[in-house]
Structure 1
């Protein structure tokens, strides 16, 4: 079966065209360029051949193009670069050859680029590293050459990077340590040389690191030890030397992570020789440090302390916090910049609660004993400055038990900070995906009711409705009583003057964005409803919308929808089904089915079909009451 040329005669109003896994062969007709209102095309998992038609540049509304898993050949056509709203480009597992087009760097809306499993043979163009908003890049299993550019630091939003199985040479640039959101990195099966940069220790979100089968030398950086999120490391088949670190993630690693590095030493379980010589070297170095270097350092500290004290009065008046509502919390009327330094121990890493593209959040104790959170903004872009102003404007006059309270703000030309109530139990994301925590069914339901209540308030309880625009588990914090608080209003939008929708160019987080928001920039309260629906599914399945399993047209919504009727136990988080009481498990599944039906309604593709948050709050409370009556009370 082939795609007919008459495909161009389909309705002008058609927005999505998805024909996956149907055995379609032949070329993609050039007439597809007539369907100018399409925002999603998916022909994944077929046997299409030939080249990508240049008429695709006519599809200016296109956001999502998935041609993965076919037999397309020829070059990646430059005309793809003319689709400025393109957010997701899947061309993996084809037979595409030649160079990566330099114009890919012009796709400023791009969030996901998947070119793996082709025959691309060029260098990665310098302009490519200018994609500051891209979240996922997969260029694996090609024949790419050249060095990794230091410009990689520009990709501040990057979460996943896979350049494995290519012919990339040179060194790993130390600027990779600037990518604070990076979670998965694979540079395996290349010909990289030099040392593993110490700056990798700055990647606080790093979960997976694969540098195997290269020509890397030098020692394994101890800076990787404190990375609490790091779960997988593979450094095998290199030329590394010295001691294998033993702290942090290295406690749980096995010899397979380091094999075929003949000059490594360490503990017996790593199947390497002991490090006797290295220990003597370290002892000698320690003696030199204590005798010669330490006195010099202490002298320098005394001099710097004098300078700091001299500058303190002059800076004190410049960096002050403007009072907003401090009296109710017993806080002082004015707090100097230096008091913030003291409260955070000069922004010591031990007080770091988290970081992102906006900056960092630190825990701090003020002089009167009150513990607060300091959200420090990076100011290397106009967008971050606007984010600070938006968050101040949004939360200045709103009060709700399920919103994080902003206590005050600190603003000067070179320092901007929000002072917020400290929420001790961390984010919902941490509780969902950490092995040290587990939420039971009722806790998860209560948390989602809390979030829904917060959204109902900002959507329907204010004279000027507010749309959060970036709802996700990392922006939901849990207090000591496991009550949820919605935070991070940095890209929120006001629907003023009675408007039900507005337009924006702000790029939200991949996986949680409503179709009309991602493709057309249309913002309404239904954007938050969509994100809430995705989170509702995520909380009860414990699957992120960006899981590796969601490829080739499969996503979190369709996975749940297809499983509802016949295999619900395959999608519900298995931690919720660990009980010997079969009736209890049956009740859990019945309640979960109702919850997921509500979730799928919330994240319908068309905004008109989604319920509003007032309806969601009513539905969830009914579900909770029914669960307690039929299941929870009987068991406990």
Structure 2
């Protein structure tokens, strides 16, 4: 027992407390006790799991404080203690878990502040502390720069950056002072302020008189979050839309690389207004992207809009799109890169489906809409035909506009839109990224499709896997093949004909993370052997 590397006891009806001897297995790498009825406190002995990189004890009935010994788990990458009754503060010792990527403490009764020291966790991609009783300022630096308000919601005492949908923090820098000093300060500042207001008023009035009545760039998005760009700003930044700056072309327009006056490199999506539907696509992208913010969604910096010109200014993705990396002979993605990219995409879709007030369906997921930044992190883009559901809605009917090969059957034949159509498209992309064969490949005709080809090949995934990814002579051939087989089975679960039978995006994400951890375990165990 002491030599066990993985324990999966999730989704049983286990009761009582977590036995301390279970946490004495120093070689244990994965422990999953989620979805049981475990009670009592989290034992101090949890600090003994020095080799663990995945712990999931969510959906139980644990109470009391999180022990500070949890900070001793420096190999830990994923930790979920969500949906328990944990109390007390978040231990400062979390900042010692330097490998931590995913942390979920949501739906507990935690109080106090979020430790500022957690800004040092450079690998942290998600920190969900929603639905607690936390207070104080949300840390601003390190990984917290990329987090969204959904991760902190329903904590009435939290404050910080308004983009996180929390109030600004009250300044505590002004200390008590004598009334005389305060009065003198107020009088002097008031005099200076009056002079400044008069000067600013005169300048603004002069500027208003000189301002032309028609603007070359009208910002459609929130001025607090997005910058306004004029037509001439974008014209100069792209060298008059020179072909050398063309990054790609789509159904509704073209994307150019641009360099702004301050040196910032951006991507500029220019809509071709002569194409039917392009104006609607522009409006839809503005509507969706101004409402959403997630590290794995493309970031919009601003827009430009006048009668004859529409463009979005986006964060530049130096590594292009996933399609280029799959099919260019000059690029190659290894096993971990492919898994991590699909985990990023799953994170984005899980946020769209569950992280906003009402579901958002992308409707056109495919490799060319998955962009890669300088760290090869994936960002889902192109929301031109996305659907935002109203409160209480879960199904819509619309015209089918998505790309053939990736379309769910009910969307293609009946125009039925639900979050399940994104799950279907995700499954197709998952098969594609590991087989390196497009769903529209000329070898597929009649009843033969990418999905049926993969389905018929299992359990022998070697028939369909990218030949450049796995070769029989590889050192870790068997381990890689096991991993790909699990992934292909997951992809098929995403692509069942009946929408109700498809796995949810939450479960897809959890399964992918589990597969990644199992693969890491297999590789590590093989090396040690």
Question: Same fold by TM-score, threshold 0.5 exceeded?
Answer: yes
1:416 counterpart residue number: 310
2:106 counterpart residue number: none
1:322 is the counterpart of 2:219: yes
Instruction: Please give the secondary structure, in 1, of the residue aligned with 2:318.
Output: coil
Using structure 2 for the length normalisation, give the TM-score. Answer: 0.58
2:518 counterpart residue number: 626
2:500 to 600, 608, 616: 608
2:466 counterpart residue number: 573
2:324 to 425, 430, 433: 430
Residue-by-residue CA offset, 1:269-297 (whole Å, 9 max, x unaligned): xxxxxxxxxxxxxxxxxxxxxxxxxxxxx
Q: C-alpha separation between the residues in 1 aligned to 2:492 and 2:447?
A: 17
Q: C-alpha separation between the residues in 1 aligned to 2:212 and 2:323?
A: 38
Give how far 1:335 is off: 2.9
1:356 is the counterpart of 2:253: no
Q: Which stretches of structure 1, 4 residues or more, deviate above 4 A after TM superposition? A: 313-317, 323-328, 632-636
Q: What are structure 1's unaligned runs of at least 5 residues?
A: 1-312
Distance 1:443 1:632, change over 3 A: farther
1:196-595 alignment runs, 5 A limit: 317-322=214-219, 324=221, 334-565=228-459, 567-578=460-471, 580-582=473-475, 584-595=476-487
Residue-by-residue CA offset, 1:404-447 (whole Å, 9 max, x unaligned): 01111111110000111111100000000000000000100000
Give how far 1:495 is off: 1.5
Residue-by-residue CA offset, 1:510-564 (whole Å, 9 max, x unaligned): 0000000000000000000000000000000001000111113100011011111
Give how far 1:497 is off: 2.4
Instruction: Please give the secondary structure, in 2, of the residue aligned with 1:500.
Output: coil
Give how far 1:324 is off: 4.7
2:491 to 599, 623, 627: 599
2:41 counterpart residue number: none
Residue-by-residue CA offset, 1:570-628 (whole Å, 9 max, x unaligned): 2000111147445x110111111111000000011110110110001100001001101
Q: C-alpha separation between the residues in 2 aligned to 1:334 and 1:499?
A: 33
- The answer as to whether partners of 1:536 and 1:596 remain within 8 angstroms in 2 is yes
Instruction: Please give the secondary structure, in 1, of the residue aligned with 2:469.
Output: helix
- The answer as to whether partners of 1:316 and 1:337 remain within 8 angstroms in 2 is no
Q: C-alpha separation between the residues in 2 aligned to 1:525 and 1:316?
A: 44
Residue-by-residue CA offset, 1:82-110 (whole Å, 9 max, x unaligned): xxxxxxxxxxxxxxxxxxxxxxxxxxxxx
Instruction: Please give the secondary structure, in 2, of the residue aligned with 1:530.
Output: helix
Instruction: Please give the secondary structure, in 1, of the residue aligned with 2:468.
Output: helix
1:187-198 alignment runs, 5 A limit: none
Residue-by-residue CA offset, 1:345-376 (whole Å, 9 max, x unaligned): 00000000000111100010000111111100
Distance 1:609 1:390, change over 3 A: same
Give how far 1:336 is off: 2.1
Q: C-alpha separation between the residues in 1 aligned to 2:319 and 2:222?
A: 24
Distance 1:415 1:396, change over 3 A: same
Instruction: Please give the secondary structure, in 2, of the residue aligned with 1:407.
Output: strand
Residue-by-residue CA offset, 1:369-388 (whole Å, 9 max, x unaligned): 11111100011244111110
Q: C-alpha separation between the residues in 2 aligned to 1:500 and 1:366?
A: 41
How many residue pairs were aligned?
319
Q: C-alpha separation between the residues in 2 aligned to 1:358 and 1:316?
A: 30
Q: CA RMSD in A?
A: 2.1
Instruction: Please give the secondary structure, in 2, of the residue aligned with 1:362.
Output: strand
Distance 1:327 1:318, change over 3 A: closer
Distance 1:635 1:438, change over 3 A: farther
Instruction: Please give the secondary structure, in 2, of the residue aligned with 1:577.
Output: coil
Distance 1:364 1:436, change over 3 A: same
Distance 1:450 1:633, change over 3 A: farther
Distance 1:321 1:340, change over 3 A: farther
- The answer as to whether partners of 1:318 and 1:412 remain within 8 angstroms in 2 is yes
Using structure 1 for the length normalisation, give the TM-score. Answer: 0.48
Residue-by-residue CA offset, 1:171-226 (whole Å, 9 max, x unaligned): xxxxxxxxxxxxxxxxxxxxxxxxxxxxxxxxxxxxxxxxxxxxxxxxxxxxxxxx
- The answer as to whether partners of 2:221 and 2:286 remain within 8 angstroms in 1 is no
- The answer as to whether partners of 2:228 and 2:304 remain within 8 angstroms in 1 is no
- The answer as to whether partners of 2:228 and 2:302 remain within 8 angstroms in 1 is no
Distance 1:340 1:581, change over 3 A: closer
Give how far 1:337 is off: 1.1
Instruction: Please give the secondary structure, in 2, of the residue aligned with 1:587.
Output: helix
Residue-by-residue CA offset, 1:282-325 (whole Å, 9 max, x unaligned): xxxxxxxxxxxxxxxxxxxxxxxxxxxxxxx9999531252857
